[in-house]
Chain A
């Protein structure tokens, strides 16, 4: 690893200012950043820790929406009774997200900002219509999670931007299912991830595909999967991954149709 400066700001304003400099990289849990630095893919001269910014709160607002501070760990989210009660699909998804040690330190903000398509929460949050608050040099703005991703490991965040909160609308009568499949060992980065929401009152589905695509991608129907920009890689050929997407979308839709979700 190349030598770097480690900074631990105590306020959001301080953090944003520090990140304005070139080759400065934010991190919270640090798992993704450390991996990339050890692999030599990332060589920041400055690491800015976001751990002391007091952004961990998980709460349900009076409007019924879930508000999660960006520094809340995935483990805290997994164990939250409020989340289990109101958004059980999130709790279920977290159970097989990476491993316990990673979930103990990884934060939802870091998870979303990483931009890796082989992760589980982005497609689920997309299909749930979640939004994030992004704080930057020019102030705050709201961004739908769906608009956060530009491509493989590429987000629409600008240097100096930080996710500070995630908002998830109440489920209402909707039912959500996230399914993933791996093509090597059972515990592996997903080759395919599908997130589905079913609105029983309208008999309508919202479908989002990820992992096989380089960012979470909405599809109108199972038939539309053929047109998705899916490429062959270590997880499988494009044709096979499309087959998996179709199969898993159908399975997720069948699952979501069932009552008591």
Chain B
């Protein structure tokens, strides 16, 4: 039994017909053609499905789409130009296959919002829920610090 869910997606008001069991990842892909948010482990452990709902990072694969009604949803596709975090990831070479990268980008933005100048320990703990099988972890730590510096400059 589908019902209409209305919400704001990357700054625009949208609506979709969703079944109660559909996850936010499925709806973002099926209804909106946004594939930056991906289901990988399916258990909220890898972070590939990271989405922001009302400013808070959640695991999209465990989020029922129905429940984002009237909420603000932001994905990695939000924004026209590369932000300092994306630029830092490129400069630091902080990705390889890229499948986990959107999740890291979104989590890094959240991290820097809360801790503008994080140390290694803070970075590791905040991002401990994001996995990278290519193991670009050391480069990601550098990218986070670089992004922090870029943000503080501007």
> Are any A and B Cβ atoms less than 8 Å apart in their complex?
yes
Which of A49, A99, A104, A187 neighbours the largest number of chain B CB atoms within 10 Å of its CB?
A99
A2 to B19, CA, bound (A): 11
Q: A99 to chain B: which residues have CB within 8 Å?
A: 44-45, 47, 128-130
**A6 & B128 in contact (Cβ 8 Å cutoff):** no
Q: B45 to chain A: which residues have CB within 8 Å?
A: 99
Q: A104 to chain B: which residues have CB within 8 Å?
A: 56-58
Within 8 A of B (CB), among A28-42: 30-31, 34-35, 37-38
Query: Which chain A residue lies CB-closest to B20?
Result: A6
B64 within 8 A of A: yes
Query: Which chain B residue lies CB-closest to A73?
Result: B56
Query: Which chain A residue lies CB-closest to B45?
Result: A99
A5 within 8 A of B: yes
A139 within 8 A of B: no
Contact with B along A74-111 (1 / 0, CB 8 A): 01000000000000000000011011111011000000
Query: Which chain A residue lies CB-closest to B60?
Result: A101
A77 to B45, CA, bound (A): 21
| Minimum C-beta distance from A84 to chain B (A) | 15
**A100 & B129 in contact (Cβ 8 Å cutoff):** yes
> Taking A100-B57, A101-B57, A101-B58 as contacts, is the C-beta distance between A6 and B66 under 8 angstroms?
yes
**A1 & B21 in contact (Cβ 8 Å cutoff):** yes
A67 within 8 A of B: no
Q: A38 to chain B: which residues have CB within 8 Å?
A: 42-43
**B126 & A4 in contact (Cβ 8 Å cutoff):** no
User: Which of A1, A5, A51, A102 touches B44 (beta carbons < 8 Å)?
Assistant: A102
**B20 & A4 in contact (Cβ 8 Å cutoff):** yes
User: Which of A1, A3, A100 touches B126 (beta carbons < 8 Å)?
Assistant: A100
Q: B59 to chain A: which residues have CB within 8 Å?
A: 31, 101-102
A37 to B44, CA, bound (A): 13
A47 within 8 A of B: yes
Query: Which chain A residue lies CB-closest to B3?
Result: A6
| Minimum C-beta distance from B128 to chain A (A) | 5
Q: B64 to chain A: which residues have CB within 8 Å?
A: 6, 30, 34
A1 to B62, CA, bound (A): 12
Which of A51, A100, A102 neighbours the largest number of chain B CB atoms within 10 Å of its CB?
A100
Q: A98 to chain B: which residues have CB within 8 Å?
A: 129
User: Which of B43, B57, B128 touches A187 (beta carbons < 8 Å)?
Assistant: B128
User: Which of A2, A34, A37, A100 touches B107 (beta carbons < 8 Å)?
Assistant: A100
Contact with B along A47-76 (1 / 0, CB 8 A): 101010000000000000000000000010
Q: A4 to chain B: which residues have CB within 8 Å?
A: 20-21
User: Which of B43, B62, B67, B107 touches A49 (beta carbons < 8 Å)?
Assistant: B67
Q: Which 5 A-B pairs have the closest CB atoms?
A: A99-B129, A6-B20, A34-B62, A1-B21, A104-B56
9 other A-B residue contacts (CB within 8 Å) besides A35-B44, A75-B56, A101-B58: A3-B1, A30-B67, A31-B44, A31-B59, A35-B43, A49-B67, A99-B47, A100-B57, A100-B126
11 residue pairs bridging A and B, Cβ less than 8 Å apart: A2-B21, A3-B21, A5-B20, A31-B59, A35-B44, A38-B42, A99-B129, A100-B107, A101-B57, A104-B57, A105-B63
